[in-house]
Chains A and B, each alone.
Chain A
Amino acid sequence: GQNIDQPTEMTATEGAIVQINCTYQTSGFNGLFWYQQHAGEAPTFLSYNVLDGLEEKGRFSSFLSRSKGYSYLLLKELQMKDSASYLCAALDSNYQLIWGAGTKLIIKP
């Protein structure tokens, strides 16, 4: 079966760095997405990785290892507004997104 695993909840301090891990098992693979979802709002696109390695975009970076079925989202210089759920989603061979349950990130001052 297809499966995405990510931690349910994480807590970090304002100004610090946090890494949210995601492992996936899918029928075929066409890329890994990260989305941010604030409470009561729809998800917004953060990043897309299809090749191994690190993609940096400002304070956010995303890493992919296809051989390990593993990705992480790295958030630097955390701000209170980064408190949200972070969703990992893998694109399978049919170009369907398989969603993780999301990681709720709590930022403390």
Chain B
Amino acid sequence: GAVVSQHPSRVICKSGTSVKIECRSLDFQATTMFWYRQFPKQSLMLMATSNEGSKATYEQGVEKDKFLINHASLTLSTLTVTSAHPEDSSFYICSARRGEPYEQYFGPGTRLTVT
């Protein structure tokens, strides 16, 4: 068990458009979901933490108006990159946590390219 899906796996969009990425926990209810970003050859960077039904908690330096997170249910969280720019091109990974022992299960990631 503990499978997390992410959709789409790859997306190419034009500068100024918005992109929505979905993260679903398929076989468990996730108390908390996380969104990460990873640039090539760099470590994971936590963007935000979201609990179902409440506002996401963003890490310092992450623009909440640019990266909109919605956690509508215990199995679904979405990240919308608004007015995307080329510098937003990155690998976006979500993870879900269901409780003790608090390990995070990762989705396969979404590679975003903004042209």
Contact = CB atoms under 8 A, between A and B. Distances in A.
Contact of B102 (A31, A40, A43): A31
Contacts, number: 41
A42 B108 contact: yes
Looking at chain A's contact residues, the main secondary structure is: loop
A21 B109 CA distance: 27
Interface residues of A, number: 21
Contact of A43 (B42, B44, B101): B44
Interface string B73-112: 0000000000000000001010000000111111111010
Interface residues of B, number: 17
28 contacts: A30-B102, A31-B101, A33-B104, A35-B106, A40-B111, A41-B108, A42-B93, A42-B106, A42-B109, A43-B44, A43-B93, A45-B103, A45-B104, A45-B106, A48-B101, A48-B103, A87-B44, A91-B102, A95-B102, A96-B49, A97-B46, A97-B102, A97-B104, A99-B43, A100-B43, A101-B42, A101-B43, A102-B43
